[in-house]
Structure 1
Amino acid sequence: MLAYVIRRVFMSIPILFGSTILVFLIVKFSGDPLEGLKLRNPPPPPQTILNEERRLRLDQPLWEQYWLWLKNLVLHGDFGPSVHSNMNIGNELGDRLLVTLRLVLVSVLIALIFAVITGVVSAVKQYSVTDYSFTFLGFLFLAMPSFWFAILLKSAGIAYNQATGTQTFFTIGDKSPFLVDDSAWGNIKDIAGHMVLPTIALGLISYAAWSRFQRAAMLEVLNSDYVRLARAKGLRSRQVLVRHALRTALIPLTTVTALDIAALLGGAVITERVFQWHGLGEFLLTSIAGRDAYAMMGWLLVSAIIVIIFNLIADLMYSVLDPRIRYE
């Protein structure tokens, strides 16, 4: 297993290197970072534009820009200069990454738990009222656009707060700017309160698709020969379901979850925008609006790293879920 992990990590290096080239080219050909400065009225002095071009390395050949960016990133952790001279892209990404990761990870965890439970129950009680109810809910959430569902939840939270005269649901920001209880427990409660609605908005969309995958995988496993043999040997239904069927049926869901991480990060951008979170989503939208090339490259590179890590975790989970899988 250790040899497999090391091999997979080394295999991820060329993938990550290729992603840096792709990210660099996409951003560099997306527009001029100094367009806003050049279109100002009255126009800035030519020397100011030349100084900004030199600071942003726009006066150098494309290959040299890429080499300097990659070298400084690998050796010094420097993501490059921002169009805002007072902003450190690395520090900004680090702070916002923590905000977004807690939203994505909690959403994934909740979505997986509900997807597994409802998927298994639907498969065991196939064509029952329960199965049809879960299927209806799954298709309902699948049909909802993530931005519309997030706005709907936010409006419902505001309406409930106004009707009850309380602050039950937090609808703006990832935390309160001023806290009465500034202790560790008070901060945890405040952060958890702000996570309720965004987590539901992001998690339910993923849950809908994952529960369908889990139901289909569970039905296939329950009809397999080795499960019939286990039942014929007299094993208890619960033991057959949990120990023999569920572990194997979780493998397709593991693959789908790893592949959907990129989509979840995209959904987090929309969710953070609706609830005005100061995470990676706001950072990306601000960078695109300001044509901040190195900031956009940093966001895309961080997203690529997250996707690679989750796919590596999924590969490692295969041997845990199914003892028949061995990596030599």
Structure 2
Amino acid sequence: MLKFILKRLGSSFLVLFGASILLFVLVVNSGDPLKDLRESQSENREQLMQARINYMNLDEPWYSRYFIWLRGVAGCLRGACDLGTNRGGQQVNDLLANAASSTLRLVVLATVLAIIIGIAVGIITAIRQYSGLDYAVTLLIFLFFSLPVFWAAVLLKEYMAIGYNNWIADPTLNWTYIIIGALLAGLVVQAAMAGNAKRRLLTFAVVAGFILVIFPTLHALDFWRRPVMGPLVQLAIGLAAAVALTALIAGLKNRKVLYSALVTVAVGMVSYYATYGLLMNNPSWLLLLGLGIIAVLVGILIGRLMGGFSKGTAATASAITAVVMGVFIVMEHMTNYWPALLRAKPRPVATIGSETPGMDAHFWVEFMDKGTQLLLPTVLLTIVSVATYSRYTRSSMLEVSRQDYIRTARAKGLGERQVILKHAFRNSLIPITTIMAFDFAGLIGGAVITERVFGWKGMGELFATGLDQVDPAPVMAFFLVTGTAAVLMNLVADVLYAILDPRIRV
């Protein structure tokens, strides 16, 4: 494995080296970086031109400029990166750090959501092949995939931002929309749950009735502007997650897994009270990360200790239950400060920028501010990527389900849950892993249009500005991040092949 990794890194380095030369040559020959100054009538025009020549090394031939940049990149190996300066004299290192943090925050979240939603939709449509649900989902997926990004962004701004901001100022209850939403939700859930006509009708009635009851109740409590959760809600969410995950992963008859998940819920409730004051008193990102890691480790430990012969499955169910409870505990602390955010920012969902300039508030207020700024571009990138993941998952699941070992597993009497999750799903992940690797690097590069539409100062803005100004330093910084991401993600995909299928050796 080590030999393979080193060999791949060596070949990838050569590819990046050749591509960087080509890109550098194309950028430096795409125009005149001094054009605006040549046309200027300023008295200090000559001084400005000379300063730009010095910043960009324009008095050197292109190959000399390239090797100056390459020498600075080589310094990254010893922790002293020097990506040069842009034509205004700003250090590209600083510009890249700010741009990469904005873009990665957007791309990582969009990728995770797209993977989870896309794979889940792909599995369901593969199981329900040629059903009404399958046809409806296929229609929506191809519709989302074919949407022009800039047009979809305008729609999101109009309805998810402007429309919501107008409504949250004075929330009103529109029974027409609630009834339509309840009917649609009931139709979708009953189609996904399947079963006989009686079961479908019962599912439809329960889902539609729940929505028709819960929305007026929340409206009466003024939940939209003053949301409240509390320990009972946290307990209900934890119990629902424990039972649902056990039913999905192992079946409710496996008591070891169920008890492990329920004990995790009990520990989560103890943690809810133990960390309440800590999380209320202006916490930090490092604290949230540390608590999240501890939650996962505790869940795994409970599952391993109580799972018996199913300790692996129990550890998975307990760890995911712990993560779900942790997420909703964080959401409760966020909702406690929602009124403060509305006072500081009456129109909470922004259409431009990655954060509100000059906001100096409590940690949770700033947390929600960045989250609302992240909402629209994340939804847009997720919708685009979900189409790819769902289609590949569906086709891969259908192909695997026709294999002999799947028929053998069913003939031996294994339950459909075990056949799908333990046999079909794991092997269908192999081609999907390749898509994940390409999609992550592709989203970084493809976020250029999204960032421009939503006014994000990210990698896309850095790249576009560099091209407009015939400035190779920002463009090469963009290439360095996206190219390295593509290489590393493909390497990770190759390693995961051997983990998913031990028959594969690299």
Fold shared by both chains (TM-score > 0.5) = yes
Q: Offset of 1:59 from its aligned partner? A: 1.6
Shift in alpha-carbon separation, 1:55–1:194, aligned structure 2, 3 A: closer
Q: What letter is aligned with 1:115?
A: G
Q: 2:402 aligns with which of 214, 219, 223?
A: 223
**Aligned equivalents of 2:446 and 2:62: distance in 1?**
32
Q: Is the 8 A contact 1:107 1:203 kept in 2?
A: yes
Q: What letter is aligned with 2:131?
A: S
Give the aligned partner of residue 87 of structure 2: 83
**Aligned equivalents of 2:8 and 2:137: distance in 1?**
37
CA RMSD across the alignment: 2.0
Q: What letter is aligned with 1:110?
A: L
**Aligned equivalents of 1:180 and 1:88: distance in 2?**
27
- 233-242 or 4-13, larger mean C-alpha shift: 4-13
Give the aligned partner of residue 21 of structure 1: 21
Q: Is the 8 A contact 1:55 1:81 kept in 2?
A: yes
Q: Offset of 1:124 from its aligned partner? A: 0.7
**Aligned equivalents of 1:81 and 1:168: distance in 2?**
36
1:193 aligned counterpart, secondary structure? helix
Give the aligned partner of residue 302 of structure 1: 481
Q: Counterparts in 2 of 1:179-190, with a 5 A limit?
A: 179=359, 181-183=361-363, 185-190=364-369
Q: What letter is aligned with 1:126?
A: Q
Unaligned runs of 5+ in 1: none
**Aligned equivalents of 1:197 and 1:49: distance in 2?**
41
Q: Is the 8 A contact 1:108 1:203 kept in 2?
A: yes
Q: Counterparts in 2 of 1:272-311, with a 5 A limit?
A: 272-311=451-490
Give the aligned partner of residue 352 of structure 2: 172
Q: Tell me the percent identity.
A: 40
Give the aligned partner of residue 31 of structure 1: 31
Q: Offset of 1:108 from its aligned partner? A: 0.6
- 157-166 or 106-115, larger mean C-alpha shift: 157-166
Q: Offset of 1:168 from its aligned partner? A: 4.5
2:362 aligned counterpart, secondary structure? coil
Q: Offset of 1:43 from its aligned partner? A: 7.8
Shift in alpha-carbon separation, 1:171–1:79, aligned structure 2, 3 A: same
Q: Offset of 1:46 from its aligned partner? A: 4.8
Give the aligned partner of residue 158 of structure 1: 162
TM-score (norm 2): 0.61
Kindly indicate whether residue 373 of structure 2 is the aligned counterpart of residue 194 of structure 1. yes
**Aligned equivalents of 1:9 and 1:99: distance in 2?**
27
Kindly indicate whether residue 419 of structure 2 is the aligned counterpart of residue 208 of structure 1. no
Shift in alpha-carbon separation, 1:171–1:89, aligned structure 2, 3 A: same
Kindly indicate whether residue 55 of structure 2 is the aligned counterpart of residue 73 of structure 1. no
Q: Kindly provide the CA deviation profile for residues 276-296 of structure 1, in whole angstroms up to 9, marking residues without a partner as x.
A: 122112222222232222112
Q: Is the 8 A contact 1:272 1:278 kept in 2?
A: yes
Q: Offset of 1:209 from its aligned partner? A: 2.0
2:82 aligned counterpart, secondary structure? coil
Q: Counterparts in 2 of 1:91-106, with a 5 A limit?
A: 91-106=94-109
Q: Kindly provide the CA deviation profile for residues 165-220 of structure 1, in whole angstroms up to 9, marking residues without a partner as x.
A: 2535232221122436332x333222222212111011110111221111111110
TM-score (norm 1): 0.92
**Aligned equivalents of 1:17 and 1:82: distance in 2?**
21
1:260 aligned counterpart, secondary structure? helix
**Aligned equivalents of 1:112 and 1:226: distance in 2?**
26
Unaligned runs of 5+ in 2: 170-345
Kindly indicate whether residue 241 of structure 2 is the aligned counterpart of residue 62 of structure 1. no
Q: What letter is aligned with 2:83?
A: F
- 314-323 or 203-212, larger mean C-alpha shift: 314-323
Q: Kindly provide the CA deviation profile for residues 19-64 of structure 1, in whole angstroms up to 9, marking residues without a partner as x.
A: 3212212212212211221122358655653553344222222222
